[in-house]
């Protein structure tokens, strides 16, 4: 079997832990598997490097940020190779570039365009364990790029797809995907299976156990992911195509919390055709990700417009909006909001799911500021200080601990 394994930051967070990973890799190799191992930077390392850059500049060059941040993964990859050599396992560490990972030119948030697997295959044929530094590639100009936070998951899935691997195992400090973040709700239950669509919603809505882009790519390429813990043995959670036999008859499968949200409210906006297009085009030009949008029914020629953006993009959003200040009465901003969401494919065929969530919020005296829904999710913007409480209340409401 050809297996792609990915070990995240916590799993390689210290020299002892890298040793532990080396033991796991050696064992899988002894069992006769061909192995490609993708590693993250040691936990906290990427954040530390970002802080270093901030010491010099509030707006460091994105090209240089990629040079800087890609180094964390190289450290772990080479240390793991050295540890394996000491155990008598033949291994070689490759950077993203050496592994043939080509991306577009979007520094710090690049997309993988293609993977040339020649070098990896050559090393595998020579009987080596191939270790790949995650989270990175190169663009057409040969510049290093990185794939967005949590991007080593994406490296692993892309490699598994390109190599037609038999399995893509993603190891972290939890033994699978839970009904909600077990750090928030200790009663959360591990799921045996979850569909790509549900996992994509959960990860896009804040569950960082898998990077959302990696799930999107896994679905596109048909890569079956198994989420497991590097600290214990167990079957983990399988993320795959929706399968009626495998998936139980559940309506809601998980709850996610995204704290990286900020709300923008524009009052007394001139109510004329084209105004929304102008404002949101401007935000799009600035590459600001607008999420929920609400507009009130207009009164006396004006309307109120509210929307959310990632907290980290609020300052840029304020600047973009300033260009329209003659078009609205006042603007206010709130960083102390969060988004809590319920996700489940069963919602397609059941009614009253959203109403049940709203009732639960009301009974806990939590005010809902914005709502958005799709076929398989309901999201609510609420005060950040009630975020974790809301997760627990909803977890109980849909009996996810049962």
Binding to ligand ASP by residue 7, rule CB under 6 A?
Answer: no
Reduced to 3 states (helix: H, G, I; strand: E, B; else coil), residue 284 is helix
| Phi, psi torsion values for 50, nearest 5 degrees | -60, -45
Per CB under 6 A, the list member of 95, 145, 146, 172 interacting with ligand ADP is: 172
Binding to ligand ADP by residue 139, rule CB under 6 A?
Answer: no
In whole angstroms, what is the distance from residue 137 CA to residue 93 CA?
14
Q: Binding pattern to ligand ADP, positions 190-229, x when CB under 6 A?
A: ------------x----xxx--------------------
Per CB under 6 A, the list member of 10, 139, 214, 253 interacting with ligand ADP is: 10
The CA–CA distances, whole Å, from 379 to 26, 219, 344 equal: 44, 23, 12
Tell me the two tokens of residue 67: 């040079």
- Judged by CB under 6 A, the stretch of 5-13, 52-60, 262-270, 355-363 that binds ligand ADP is 5-13
- Closer to ligand ADP by Cβ: residue 10 or 103: 10
Give the one entry of ligand ADP, ligand ASP, Mg ion, none that residue 134 binds, where binding means its C-beta sits below a cut-off of 5 to 8 angstroms depending on kind: ligand ASP
The residue ranges of DSSP E strands in 95-231, in sequence order, are 101-103, 112-115, 129-133, 136-138, 144-146, 167-172, 193-195, 225-229
Cα 393–chain centre separation: 24
The Cα angle at residue 161 between residues 172 and 76, in degrees rounded to 5 = 40
Tell me how many residues contact ligand ASP (CB under 6 A). Answer: 13
Per CB under 6 A, the list member of 5, 10, 11, 46 interacting with ligand ASP is: 46
Binding to ligand ASP by residue 394, rule CB under 6 A?
Answer: no
372-391: contacts with ligand ASP (CB under 6 A): none
Reduced to 3 states (helix: H, G, I; strand: E, B; else coil), residue 47 is helix
- Closer to ligand ADP by Cβ: residue 150 or 306: 150
Binding to ligand ADP by residue 144, rule CB under 6 A?
Answer: no
Binding to Mg ion by residue 206, rule CB under 5 A?
Answer: no
Tell me the two tokens of residue 227: 């989420």
Q: What is the DSSP letter of 304?
A: E
Contact indicator for 145, 135 with CB cutoff of 8 Å: no
- Closer to ligand ASP by Cβ: residue 231 or 324: 231
- Closer to ligand ADP by Cβ: residue 17 or 107: 17
Binding to ligand ASP by residue 344, rule CB under 6 A?
Answer: no
Closest-approach residue to ligand ADP (CB):
8
124-183: contacts with ligand ASP (CB under 6 A): 134-135, 149-153
User: Which residues sit opposite 93 in a β-bridge?
Assistant: 131
User: First CA to last CA across the chain, in angstroms?
Assistant: 36
Tell me the two tokens of residue 169: 């195992």
- Closer to ligand ASP by Cβ: residue 100 or 150: 150
The owner of tokens 């214990």 is 232
Per CB under 6 A, the list member of 9, 72, 137, 344 interacting with ligand ADP is: 9
- Judged by CB under 5 A, the stretch of 31-39, 148-156, 312-320, 325-333 that binds Mg ion is 148-156
Tell me the two tokens of residue 320: 């973009």
Tell me the two tokens of residue 285: 């030009």
Binding to Mg ion by residue 150, rule CB under 5 A?
Answer: yes
Tell me the two tokens of residue 152: 């080593």
Side by side, the strands of the sheet bearing 302-310 are 293-295, 302-310, 254-270, 330-343, 377-383, 370-374
Binding to Mg ion by residue 134, rule CB under 5 A?
Answer: no
Q: What is the DSSP letter of 329?
A: S
Binding to Mg ion by residue 13, rule CB under 5 A?
Answer: no
Handedness of CA 371, 338, 215, 315 (dihedral sign): positive
Q: How far is the CB of 154 from ligand ASP (least distance, A)?
A: 8
Q: How far is the CB of 27 from ligand ASP (least distance, A)?
A: 23
Angle, in degrees to the nearest 10, between helices 387-397 and 353-363: 130
Binding to ligand ADP by residue 387, rule CB under 6 A?
Answer: no
Binding site for ligand ADP (CB under 6 A): 8-11, 40, 150, 172-174, 177-178, 180-183, 202, 207-209, 254
Residues at the site binding ligand ASP, with contacts judged by CB under 6 A: 8-9, 40-41, 46, 72, 134-135, 149-153
Which positions touch Mg ion (CB under 5 A)?
Answer: 8, 150
């Amino acid at each position: 079997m050809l297996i792609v394994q990915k070990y995240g930051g916590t799993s390689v967070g210290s020299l002892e832990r890298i040793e532990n990973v080396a033991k796991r890799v050696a064992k899988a190799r002894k069992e006769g598997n061909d192995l490609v191992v993708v590693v993250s930077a040691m936990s906290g390392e990427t954040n530390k490097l970002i802080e270093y850059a901030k010491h010099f500049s509030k707006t460091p060059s994105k090209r240089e940020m990629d040079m800087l941040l890609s180094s964390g993964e190289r450290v772990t990859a080479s240390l793991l190779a050295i540890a394996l050599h000491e155990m008598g396992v033949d291994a070689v560490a490759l950077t993203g570039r050496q592994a043939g990972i080509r991306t577009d030119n979007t520094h710090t948030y690049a997309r993988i365009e293609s993977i040339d697997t020649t070098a990896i295959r050559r090393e595998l044929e020579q009987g080596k364990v191939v270790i790949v530094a995650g989270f990175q590639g190169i663009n057409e100009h040969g510049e290093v790029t990185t794939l967005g936070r949590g991007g080593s998951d994406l490296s692993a899935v892309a490699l598994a797809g390109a190599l037609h691997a038999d399995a893509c195992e993603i190891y972290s400090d939890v033994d699978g995907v839970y009904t909600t973040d077990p750090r928030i709700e200790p009663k959360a239950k591990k799921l045996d299976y979850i569909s790509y669509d549900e996992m994509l919603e959960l990860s896009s809505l804040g569950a960082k156990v898998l990077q959302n882009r990696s799930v999107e790519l896994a679905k596109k390429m048909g890569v079956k992911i198994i989420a497991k813990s590097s600290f214990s043995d167990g079957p983990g959670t399988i993320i795959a195509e929706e399968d009626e036999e495998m998936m139980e008859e559940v309506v809601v499968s998980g709850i996610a919390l995204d704290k990286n949200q900020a709300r923008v409210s524009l009052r007394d906006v001139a109510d004329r055709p084209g105004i929304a297009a102008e404002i949101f085009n401007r935000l799009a030009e600035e590459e600001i990700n607008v999420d929920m949008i609400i507009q009130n029914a207009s009164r006396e020629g004006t309307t109120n417009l509210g929307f959310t953006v990632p907290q980290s993009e609020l300052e840029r959003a304020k600047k973009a909006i300033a260009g329209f200040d003659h078009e609205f009465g006042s603007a206010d901003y709130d960083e102390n909001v969060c988004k809590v969401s319920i996700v489940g494919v069963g919602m397609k065929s059941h009614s009253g799911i959203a109403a049940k969530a709203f009732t639960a919020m009301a009974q806990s005296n939590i005010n809902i500021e914005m709502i958005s829904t799709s076929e398989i999710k309901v999201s609510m913007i609420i005060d950040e200080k009630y975020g974790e409480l809301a997760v627990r209340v909803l977890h109980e409401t849909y009996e996810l601990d049962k």
